[in-house]
A and B are shown apart, each in its own frame.
Chain A
Amino acid sequence: MRKILSSDTIRLLIPALSLTILLISVFYLQPRAMSYTGLNLLFNLSVPIALATIAQMLIMTVNDLDLSMGTFVSFIACVAATFLQATPVLGILILAAAVATYAAMGVLIHVRNLPSIVVTLGMSFVWGGLAVLILPAPGGQAPEWIRAVMISKPPFVPMAIIASITIAVVSHFLIMRSSFGVILRGVGGNARSVERAGWSIIRARAATYALAAVFAILAGISLVGLTTAADANIALRYTLLSIAGVILGGGEFTGGRVSPIGAVIGALTLTLAGSFLSFLRISPDWQIGAQGAILIVVLGLRLLLNRLERREKRA
């Protein structure tokens, strides 16, 4: 008996389903959200979160975890609101140096066989400190062009939706379809056999980290485009949000099992969960707890499906 749905499809089913249910509930509570402006407002803030989630997912592809994601995105936001706006050349140089630092982190983690959690936790203080040095008080100004992109109003479909779909499609091709992405995921699945086939694991790790940095930089810049100004603590929540987004979207902590489309959907779900709770008029004191409850329900569903799938496989 052939399975009708592949395990990858089932993996995507739960996040897609939970997003749909949340969206329907939001529309039911607040029918006015069912408009161009409404959708844009609902999903606006999910664009940087989706980018950060993809960055985190890349790191998780090679069985690592980045605990500096929040501070790094904050640092980038500060750079974008100051250097990138005032002296673009210097700003771009700083961003390039940040990418190189990430690649070096990947090399260091691999060569010294260090736990990524320790290295990135240490780096989070570095990024945080640099961000405070650049912007001791909230301020700065977003570069005009990114502001223009983020508030642009394309016909029919809001910018937030177009951006999310673009992120999902581009990262899907990069990680799931390209031959380069296969190697990255192979490193997560069985690094030894990839090495035996003559690949350099160091190079693969460095490339993964550098690519993650690129996505995180896009997250920081797009965040500044939305908020117009930056703050050293602007994106601290992103560390946990991005991890939750990856897991919610069907990814796993180890084994190179990730889904870029799922990760974007996970990020959308997380942003929507916040609005949903506001529409329910739940007091902000309880919102974080309620958001956690939503996460637990979705992850519980996934566990259940995994079990069913395994039973089917054994039967």
Chain B
Amino acid sequence: MTDEPQRHAVIEVSDARVSFGAVKALDGVTMTIMPGECVGLVGHNGAGKSTIVNVINGGLTPHSGTIRCSGTVAPRYGIGTARANGVRCVFQELSLCPNLTVIENTRVMHRTLTGWGWRRRAAAIIKAKLDAIFPGHGIDVASPVSDLSIAERQMVEIATAFSQVAQPVRLVILDEPTSSLDASLATQLLAYVRTFVASGGSVIFISHILGEILSTSDRIVVMKDGRVVAERAAAEFDEHSLVAAMGSVVKGRDIAKTIKPTDGLQPLLTAPPRRGKGLPFQAFSGEIIGLAGLGGHGQTDALVDLYLSRTGSWLNGRAPQVTFVAGDRALNGVFPLWSILKNLSIAHLSGLSRRGGMLDDPGEAALGQAWKERIEIRTPDVDNPILSLSGGNQQKVLFARALATPAPAVLMDDPMRGVDIGTKQEVYAILRAEAEKGRTFIWYSTEMDEVCLCDRVYVFNNGAIVAELKGDDVTEKNILAASFMGAAA
């Protein structure tokens, strides 16, 4: 694409500084993206990855520093300039218009699609790109986005970013693109990223799955506290050195799991086989139960049914039986206008209210303070708005919300999506400690490492439970075998 004699950088950000109040989100970041390279960007949540992405895509103007496009300084760099220079972005939270069809969403992203026959042209463009990236995707481009699953929406968004209408696509920023895709789709995407890079395009690739970063990137930039702390060729890193550079340590996994004898015990939660197929579901006190299988095979529905069958009654007592940790923070997790404290205490209001239905303010504040310290929510004050927190810390608040209730069972719908390794380790430890105390966790996760932490795993396929794995049988190999065996049957 760039055949100039001296190869200019696609984007060159030098000494960018951004601060939100007292928080320095970017503290002098310099980053150069050359044509034809894939740059992996890793770091904790809150390290400044999203901020630098927003600077590059024009959504955020740095308070100081310069941005050069193809070697020339862009004085008023904004969304328009970024797009004109071929910068595209796939955001971490899904950002399509749910009321529009796939074709119409393509039109929103590409302003040159106008005039007679734009529908036909848009359909051809997006269809071709979907076919190129995800062969056999099975998405009807005329259907509204609200009818698509999360994985399909992510696929559409990625395809829209890569599709070329007027300006050539020179740099695509992928912010956690694989978090909603299952393994096979992620592989297709990563393969496409390599072909795109080989043809001269550039990619900034952000992921918490270090294996993907290592295998896909040419160069890896590690960020911490708003600064670039390491920048080397991908080949010079391995998983341990990357984690070490980010500044958190992977704790060794518990070696042996004890299989708790469950015979004769009264299960805490049960569910019959789903739609008359597969195995029934049982959960005992103090267990961490994983729901595994390929993404979108009925795990979330199973969780929601479990939850609704035990709540949602008008005659609920003060002691809830189950509580829920949502996976899609923006959709059904946080109350965006509320403070951190209100977001935390909402599930436990009945326990916090005094006689007469008035809220016990000191009690609520004490609860907030206790959880802030216990799970280390990084904020000076729990009365700050929830959106002032980074994504990982918001997720911690959602965990605290569930754990603050006296409910004996906690249902978790892939809650660690897009959370950094350090936060994950902290939450795993909290889960273990709570399970020791007798709480039950039912945990749907798309990440194999997390499923392998569970005591017992149910593998889902096509909406039904096809296998149950216990203790030391919970291994990546067994889970994969079970989820693919079911698919073949």
Quick one: closest B residue to A197, CB to CB?
Answer: B109
Residue of B nearest to A192 (CB): B95
Counting chain B CB atoms within 10 Å of each CB, the highest count among A8, A195, A196 belongs to: A196
Say whether A257 contacts B99, CB under 8 Å.
Answer: yes
The 10 closest A-B pairs by CB, nearest first: A189-B97, A193-B95, A189-B99, A190-B97, A256-B99, A186-B97, A182-B104, A186-B108, A179-B114, A197-B109
Q: Is A188 an interface residue (CB 8 A)?
A: yes
Residues in B with CB closer than 8 Å to A257 are 99
Q: Give the shortest distance, in Å, between B108 (CB) and chain A (any CB).
A: 5
Q: Which residues in chain B, 102-129, are within 8 Å of chain A measured between CB atoms?
A: 104-105, 107-111, 113-115, 118-119
Residues of B contacting A255 in the complex (Cβ-Cβ under 8 angstroms): 98-99
In the bound assembly, the distance between CA atoms of A58 and B96 in angstroms comes to 21
Nearest CB in chain B to that of A177: its residue: B119
Not counting A194-B108, A196-B89, A313-B147, a sample of 19 additional A-B residue pairs whose C-beta atoms are within 8 angstroms of each other reads A6-B143, A6-B144, A7-B146, A179-B107, A182-B100, A182-B104, A186-B97, A186-B108, A189-B99, A190-B95, A192-B95, A193-B96, A193-B108, A196-B79, A197-B83, A197-B108, A198-B83, A256-B97, A256-B100
**B interface residues, Cβ below 8 angstroms from A:** 57, 59, 79-80, 83, 89, 91, 95-100, 104-105, 107-111, 113-115, 118-119, 143-144, 146-147, 301
Please, what's the 1-or-0 string for A1-19, where 1 marks a CB less than 8 Å from any CB in chain B?
A: 0000011100000000000
Q: Considering the chains assembled together, what is the distance between the CA atoms of A233 and B334 in angstroms?
A: 46
Q: State whether A196 touches B95 (Cβ < 8 A).
A: yes
User: Separation in Å of the A9 CB from the closest CB of chain B?
Assistant: 12
Collect the chain A residues with CB atoms within 8 Å of residue B79's CB.
Answer: 195-198
In the complex the two chains form, what is the Cα distance from A195 to B109 in whole Å? 9
Query: Which of A186, A190, A256, A314 has a CB less than 8 Å from the CB of B301?
Result: A314
Contact B91 A196 (CB under 8 A): yes
Tally of contact residues, A, Cβ under 8 A? 26
Interface of A toward B, CB cutoff 8 Å: 6-8, 177, 179-180, 182-183, 185-186, 188-190, 192-199, 255-257, 313-314
Tell whether, in the assembled complex, residue B147 and residue A185 are in contact, meaning their CB atoms are under 8 Å apart: no
Interface residue from B80, B98, B111 paired with A190 (Cβ < 8 Å): B98
B80 — nearest CB in chain A belongs to which residue?
A: A198
A193 near B97: Cβ-Cβ < 8 Å: yes
Contacts of B80 in A (CB 8 A): 198
Partner of B59, one of A7, A180, A196: A196
Q: Give A177 to B115 CA distance when docked, in angstroms.
A: 11
Q: Which residues of B contact A194 (CB under 8 A)?
A: 97, 108
List chain A residues, Cβ under 8 A from B146: 7
Chain B, residue nearest A258 (CB):
B99
Tell me whether A189 and B100 are in contact (CB under 8 A).
yes
B98 closest partner in A (C-beta): A189
| Interface CB pairs A-B, < 8 A, 9 | A7-B147, A188-B99, A190-B97, A193-B108, A195-B79, A197-B83, A197-B110, A199-B111, A256-B97
Docked Cα-Cα span, A197 to B95, in Å, equals 10
Contact residues in B for A183 (Cβ distance below 8 Å)? 107-108
